[in-house]
Structures are given as structure tokens and as C-alpha cells.
Amino acid sequence: MPKILIAYSTVDGHTLRICSRLRDVLERAGHSVTLTEISESANVDAPAFDKIVVGASIRYGRHREEVFEFVQIHRSTLERKPNAFFSVNVVARKPGKDTPESNPYVQRFRRKTRWMPTELGVFAGKIDYPKYALIDRYMIRFIMWLTKGPTDLRTSVDFTDWAQVDAFAHRISLM
């Protein structure tokens, strides 16, 4: 049974939700899946896995530094095994920014790391105004206003296309 490590970086838990969905699909396809939060991954035995997947969300235009550190630390292991990266951001809800090739955050990540994953993915995330702290709530609302997204502070919208997540899991199972 192929062993897959999914290492993720999240603030509000949506990337973890996507990882859990990937795990469900991959387990049904006969894989054994371990999820690990990157911030808690110091002791993870990456070489013990057959495939490695890294997933991370965007906040204020950036993937967190821990994601770059993880890729740097595990670089040689990553390059010896089938591997994948996906980003979660709300820019990806827009047609024309919804593929790894057209999404600015994925492209910036690739330029910065020079890592060439076997599979790349990008998923639109979630906006959950009631959950955010005051400053975040108004900052993301301003970003939404600029990009013609929802601005009602009572809104909670999941932009993720879950069929796309399932398709990505399928590609991981084949790589």
C-alpha cells in the first residue's frame, strides 16, 4: 500500500479540510495517508513515505515562511519521490487565475523555490467573515470590495470546487 505524506499550512483550517478530502479519496484508492501540520512536522520521517504532497494557504499575498522552510529542509527527499504542491487562495475563484499556470501565487511560489512538483494544484478558498478578528475582517472585506467579491460581514462562502479537489487526488494516486 503506497504511503503518502500530506504536509499542510493553514490559518483558519480550510487547507486542512481540503487535505482531509484528499485523504478520503486517496484512502479509497488504496493509499495509506498521513496528514501533518508543517508547524508541527519537525520529527516527520519524510523519506519513509512513497509520495509527498505539500498544501498551503495564502494570507495577505503570501504563503507562510514555514512552507518555504519545509521545502528547503526536505528538498532532496522531495526530488527523489513523486511529489505535489497546491495553494489555497481566493484569487483562484476568478476565471483566468484558477489554474497553476495562471495563478500568481503558485507562479511566485515556483519562482521562489525553483521546486518543480510532479503535480501542481490551486483551489479557491473560503471567506468566513464572522470567524475573523476585527482587523482581518475589514482587510479581507476591502480586498473583496476591490475584486468584486462578497462584502457582507455576515457572509461565509466556500469557493472551493470539490470536484477539482477529487480530480487532484486522482492525479496524486496515479503519479
Q: How far is the CB of 92 from ligand FMN (least distance, A)?
A: 7
Q: Choose between 13 and 150: whose C-beta lies nearer to ligand FMN.
A: 13
Q: How far is the CB of 128 from ligand FMN (least distance, A)?
A: 7
Rounded Cα distance between 80 and 98, Å, is 28
Q: How far is the CB of 71 from ligand FMN (least distance, A)?
A: 17
Rounded Cα distance between 68 and 170, Å, is 26
Q: Maximum distance among all alpha carbons in the chain? A: 47
Q: How far is the CB of 174 from ligand FMN (least distance, A)?
A: 26
Q: Choose between 38 and 90: whose C-beta lies nearer to ligand FMN.
A: 90
CA nearest neighbour of 115 among 169, 63, 50:
63
* Alpha-carbon torsion (3, 174, 68, 133), positive or negative: negative
Query: CB of 71 within 8 A of CB of 78?
Result: yes
Q: Choose between 45 and 60: whose C-beta lies nearer to ligand FMN.
A: 60
Q: Choose between 24 and 128: whose C-beta lies nearer to ligand FMN.
A: 128
Q: Give the footprint of ligand FMN on this chain (CB under 6 A).
A: 10-15, 57-61, 88-91, 125-127, 132, 136, 139-140
Task: Specify the pairing of strand 32-37 against strand 3-9.
Answer: parallel
